[in-house]
Structure 1
Amino acid sequence: MTTEQLKLRSMIVTALFAAIICVLAQLIIPLPLVPITGQTLAIGLAATILGARYGTISVLLYLVIGASGVPVFAEFSGGISKLIGPTGGFLVGFIPGTFIMGYYMEKTSFTFKNAMIANTIGMFIILAFGTTWLKISADLSWTAAFAGGFTPFIIVGLIKAALASWIGVLVRSRLVTAKLLLPIKPIVKEESI
């Protein structure tokens, strides 16, 4: 199989992950300010399975689809207003969160331990973006923004990080074996003699 064919397959899997994010976004546990959704689980899976480049592309594709008005965001909502509304910071935070998670995995290795570290870092990045934007857009105090947009999501976020790590590493190894994804080898610096 040529490199071009592998790249095409990787792009197809990337588009499928945008669809997976759309579907998991509809799994919702309602809370007063910001609901708990399956989006962040899907984001963690995308980063763990696809890495920095293709994972981030899948998230960007998801956000573009949602911003264009297709109801793929939580609670079957869509439109640019969601990106600038109170939960918009979480959505925008998916971009750097996914890239950093994938980048960490690529620079280390695709193991459960590294995936858990990456997904935990990504969770805190997404929560930081979301909480900051919640404070600004809803004109809340930092205490209220943390109480509504950060604190309630830590335990659930760690559970989702563990699930994304476990499932992600397993699925990634199978997709690489099936030649549906390009293998990414971590860069190891050689020591000079």
Structure 2
Amino acid sequence: MQTKQLVLVAMFAALMPIGANFTSFLVIGLVPITLQTFFSILAGALLGKRLGALAMIIYLITGLVGFPVFAQFKGGLGTFLQPTFGFLLSFVILAYVTGLIIEKRQKKNLNTFLIACFVGLLINYVFGTHYMYYATQFLAGSDAVSYRVVWGWMAAPLVKDIILTFFAAILATKIYHIVQTSKSSPNQKIA
């Protein structure tokens, strides 16, 4: 891995805790309002499938070993039992798929980035919300929370995430070629 690639991966792994806790004091239902989806989409769009997913894996592992990098400054293995853990897992998948779509497309224009970023957002919501529903049903043993209520909790974050996904696609379109040039330029490799 080149030094610049390593720096970019570390940068996105470090942006995730900032995005997790910048606004996480706002909670709707069980869902803290964060900027994590925005940063994970950008990671996939700018770093590509492999490095974007790697940045999200590093973030996930950092939190699971106990560092308080998840929303509301949580961390540790107990996070597996949290209803929002599915969103954390989805960040790896969405970064990979977002990067994959962009890498596969011949034209790297705004339409490509919009499609890739919104597919990533869809993955985040489908995977995360379904995990949250099943976690409330099976892990917490609560039948009081219906499938409709869980999706209702996601309405406010969805508006925010749609706006931020548009912004991520536009931003990624503008700086993609700069990042890709810096990734492919000759540099000292790290073993």
- State the TM-score, normalized to the length of structure 2: 0.84
- Kept in 2, the 8 Å contact 1:90–1:129? The answer is yes
Counterpart code for 2:146: S
| Partners of 1:84 and 1:167 in 2: CA distance | 35
Superposition pairs for residues 89-168 of structure 1, below 5 Å? 89-108=86-105, 109-139=107-137, 140-148=145-153, 150-168=154-172
* Aligned partner of 2:57 among 55, 60, 64: 60
The alpha carbon displacement at 1:84 in A equals: 2.7
- Kept in 1, the 8 Å contact 2:83–2:136? The answer is yes
SS of 1:138's partner is: helix
The alpha carbon displacement at 1:121 in A equals: 0.9
Q: Confirm whether residue 47 of structure 1 aligns to residue 44 of structure 2.
A: yes
| Partners of 1:83 and 1:55 in 2: CA distance | 22
Q: Give the gaps of 5 or more residues in structure 1.
A: 184-193
| Partners of 1:50 and 1:124 in 2: CA distance | 20
CA 1:83–1:163: 2 relative to 1, 3 Å: farther
Residue range with higher mean Cα deviation, 114-123 or 61-70: 114-123
* Aligned partner of 2:33 among 36, 53, 76: 36
CA displacement, residues 136-169 of structure 1 (integer Å, 9 cap, x when unaligned): 1112321122112x33332222111111112222
- State the TM-score, normalized to the length of structure 1: 0.83
The alpha carbon displacement at 1:27 in A equals: 1.8
Residue correspondences, number: 175
| Partners of 2:101 and 2:146 in 1: CA distance | 33
Partner of 1:188: none
Superposition CA RMSD, Å: 1.7
| Partners of 1:27 and 1:67 in 2: CA distance | 20
The alpha carbon displacement at 1:116 in A equals: 1.3
